[in-house]
Amino acid sequence: MHKPEVESARIAAIVLAAGRSRRMGVCNKLCCEIAGVPMVRRVIDAAVGSACVQIVAVTGHDDRSVVAVLQDARISLVHNAGFSEGLASSIRCGLRALDPEIDAALIVHGDMPYLTSAHLDRILAAFDPAAPGIVAPVRAGRRGNPVLWPRRYFGDLLTLHGDQGGRRLTEQHAADIVPVEIEDDAIFADIDTPAELARVVGDSP
């Protein structure tokens, strides 16, 4: 008996690029170059090269500089005027900018320069639209980012405030998490300080 084809899920990426990067000092870490490419552009390029059907970058602090390095990318730019309220405000802005037919959203931090399209596609491939769970990358039992959220959790994400990411919700819905094993530490490596940036730049080819 012929089985009907299952329609592919429509998954978006929300790239969070609105933070003040206080621990970095005077420079905007998202615009710092790694192997000649601004950090946030590396993350955006990974998203553009993935199977995501929509990419939304949420800007805020130093908006002009961030937009300058992203303006020619095939993405939607959304400005979060309330970025000083914290991470949750950017998540809300990103969700509200999604196309209505989107089935799930991958929330990606703009300061994770080791992420590649292959990492993102590995997470996307684990999403089952018939049984939509929260897809989270893991390595050696430790959970990292980015996390993929089905549409049925968008309402919960919109209730977050301050610097809350999705951690509270993943703990609350632990039984719904679909873990995806990743073979390297890209899912943990974010850049917050000059020392961390120097190490990444030194390790880059």
Which residue has tokens 């819905």? Answer: 173
User: 62-79, pLDDT tens digit by residue?
Assistant: 999 999 999 999 999 999
pTM score, two decimals? 0.91
* Structural domains in the chain plus CATH codes: 11-203 (3.90.550.10)
Cα separations in angstroms, 126 against 6, 133, 135, 151, 163 = 14, 9, 7, 15, 28
Q: What is the CA radius of gyration of the chain?
A: 17
Which residue has tokens 């059907």? Answer: 53
User: 145-194, pLDDT tens digit by residue?
Assistant: 999 999 999 999 999 998 877 888 998 999 999 999 999 999 998 887 77
Which residue has tokens 């990426």? Answer: 13
- Report how far residue 21's alpha carbon sits from residue 191's, in angstroms, rounded to the nearest whole number: 9
For residues 148, 16, 144, 191, the Cα torsion angle rounded to the nearest 10 degrees is 160
- Please answer whether residues 145 and 134 qualify as being in contact, where contact means their C-beta atoms are separated by less than 8 angstroms: no
